[in-house]
Amino acid sequence: MEDFAQISKQRWTAGFIGLSAALMVVLCANIFLGSVKIDFSQAMHIIMSGDDASTLGTILWKIRIPRALASAMGGAYLAIAGLLLQVYFRNPVVGPYILGISSGATLMVSLVMLTSLQLGLTQIAPYLTTLAAFAGAYGVMMLVLAAASRIRQGVTLLILGLMIGYLCHAVTSILVAFAEKEQVKGFVLWQLGSFSGFHQSEIYILFFGGGAVAFGVYLLSKPLNAFLLGEEYAASMGVNIRLFRILILLAACALAGMVTGMAGPVAFIGLAVPHMARLVFRTSDNNVLAPGAALLGAVVTGICDLLARLLFSPVELPISAITAFFGAPIVIGLLLRRRVVS
């Protein structure tokens, strides 16, 4: 028994070291590689000197570094949100957007982007789309939280989230049908998701706001482990089930809504990465899985964002297309082999 525990600790330590090293490599690749060639020595000189006035300095400080950080943090938060929901519903094919969060964000963004000309707005304010996505994602979150305080069965809540998503999608489709072609094109591009164009203030919000929620999730790891064994067992361990269910949904919706509001919908990260983390660490202990899924989510999303930029450069692919190609075969393979630890 002691040998097994020792082997597990060694595996977890090796996993965290390996993923941390991989994250550093991916961050460097996202910063140094791109359609504009920047030598390593040039990049290091610009970073060390803090030069943001030259052309290369602007590319590094205003475009690549914010984008690299945003993709890493966004991937980490989506993976944590997916892990929380899979524990909550005890269902391996549940992701952050199953509760209609993405659909709510999409609906509000469609209202802004597709009705701007009809309202006499020739140009949309820079933060208006992000604020609209926030409002939609958190509006749906509030509906789900209100329902969670009354509905005990997770499956019923799951179906409720799906129905909210369908309703939002129906309204969005009607708006698209009446919109101008130029507006539809911009809206479709937003729907595909992208970490480009992040501002410094948005990076701070992701770092401090999302970081605080992620740290809170880590503190909930022990009750999460008890919840995984059933609500009755968790209650016998002193967990307030009703409050804990609301906390899980609140944290998952906050993390997923924050990323969706800023980057648009990013598919498959929240669904596939928790499974990958279980395979890497070979455990269902959320003390290990929560930080492990965060690291793995950051690495996978960083790689997908890099591929989206470089595969057909200077044409940039939507990141959701890359994550779908990356995530769908992995999930299908894992489910067919039944190697996923639930």
Q: Distance between CA atoms of 252 and 81, rounded to whole angstroms?
A: 4
Q: Distance between CA atoms of 302 and 299, rounded to whole angstroms?
A: 5
Q: Is the pLDDT of residue 277 over 60?
A: yes
**Cα R_g (the chain), whole angstroms:** 21
DSSP code per residue over 50-80: T--SSHHHHIIIIIIHHHHHHHHHHHHHHHH
Of 148, 137, 89, 88, whose CA–CA distance to 109 is shortest? 137
295: tokens are 């690291």
pLDDT digits (tens, 9 = 90+) for 161-172: 778 888 888 888
Q: Is 255 exposed, middle or buried (0-12, 13-18, 19+ CB in 10 A)?
A: buried
Contacts of 8 (CB under 8 A, 6+ apart): 282, 283
What is the arithmetic mean of pLDDT over 144-158? 71
* Greater pLDDT, 126 or 177: 177
What is the arithmetic mean of pLDDT over 146-167? 75
Q: Distance between CA atoms of 82 and 304, rounded to whole angstroms?
A: 18
Burial code (b: 16+ CB inside 10 Å, e: under 16) for 202-226 equals bbebbeeebeebbeebeebeebbbb
pLDDT digits (tens, 9 = 90+) for 63-117: 889 999 999 999 999 999 989 888 887 777 677 666 677 788 788 888 887 776 5
Q: Are 64 and 34 in contact (CB under 8 A)?
A: yes
pLDDT band for 119, please (50, 70, 90 cuts): low
pLDDT digits (tens, 9 = 90+) for 30-51: 888 887 777 777 777 887 777 7
What is the arithmetic mean of pLDDT over 135-159? 74
Q: Distance between CA atoms of 217 and 290, rounded to whole angstroms?
A: 8
Alpha helices in the chain (DSSP H): 2-32, 40-49, 55-58, 65-89, 101-114, 128-148, 154-178, 181-191, 200-204, 211-219, 221-228, 231-236, 241-263, 269-281, 286-310, 319-337
Neighbours of 237 (CB within 10 A): 13
pLDDT band for 342, please (50, 70, 90 cuts): very low
Neighbours of 312 (CB within 10 A): 10
Contacts of 286 (CB under 8 A, 6+ apart): 83, 87, 220, 221, 222, 224, 225, 228
Residue whose structure tokens are 């944590």:
80
Q: What is the mean pLDDT of the chain?
A: 81
Contacts of 329 (CB under 8 A, 6+ apart): none
Q: Are 175 and 111 in contact (CB under 8 A)?
A: yes
The rounded percent of the chain whose pLDDT value lies above 70 is: 89
pLDDT band for 299, please (50, 70, 90 cuts): very high
Give me the pLDDT at residue 142, please: 76
Q: Distance between CA atoms of 77 and 73, rounded to whole angstroms?
A: 6
